[in-house]
Amino acid sequence: MNWLKKRWEITKNWQLLYPIVGTLALLYSAYKLALLFSFTKLIVTLAVTGLIFFVLVKITLALFKFLEKRWNVDYKWKVIRIFIVFAITGSLSVIVTEPIFEIVGFVKDNFGSNAWTVTFFYILKFILILPFYKVLLVFFGWVFGEYKFFLNFAIKIANRFGLKKLTEKIVPKD
């Protein structure tokens, strides 16, 4: 257990929660991806799950090295915490907006089956989900103790969409 604490720069036992949750999330993702292949035998599905899990771990560890420097995070386990917030927020923003879109009639069936209209539907849906996503991102960032990081991240997203004047009114520069 000490090697795990040393590798992820964990100083308190409760911080072990993040590598454990991260590993379980990767394992679940690998299993769900293996199910897409519709193997008839469970042992094959489990073997493919193991292979996909191995690949996902390698990709995730490579991302850690890059993002730890880019995000200027002081502890490695905080990168896992940030990943968890992104995962929760991304999933929840789609779940929260789906009933709202159905109530107002913004559903794929209303756009027809033409490739252009379906593409337009998904682009518009992405744009309409963004405000919910940013609010949830900052909220869950606060819940997980990364409020400042996610507030700055949400402001960067808004600025990239041309809302710099609005973000400066809401959160003035120091």
Q: How far apart, in whole angstroms, are the C-alpha atoms of residue 116 and residue 100?
A: 24
Q: Indicate whether 99 and 156 sit together in one domain.
A: yes
53, 28 Cβ separation under 8 angstroms = no
Among 1, 32, 31, 18, which Cα is nearest to 64's? 18
The model carries a pTM of 0.74
- Considering 23, 53, 70, which residue would you say is the last residue of a domain? 70
Q: How confident is the model at residue 102 (pLDDT cuts 50, 70, 90)?
A: confident
Q: In the chain, how many domains are there? A: 2
Q: Indicate whether 45 and 109 sit together in one domain.
A: no
Summarize pLDDT for 118-137 with one digit per residue, the tens: 888 888 888 888 888 989 99
Q: How far apart, in whole angstroms, are the C-alpha atoms of residue 173 and residue 52?
A: 44
10, 16 Cβ separation under 8 angstroms = yes
Summarize pLDDT for 58-67 with one digit per residue, the tens: 998 898 888 8
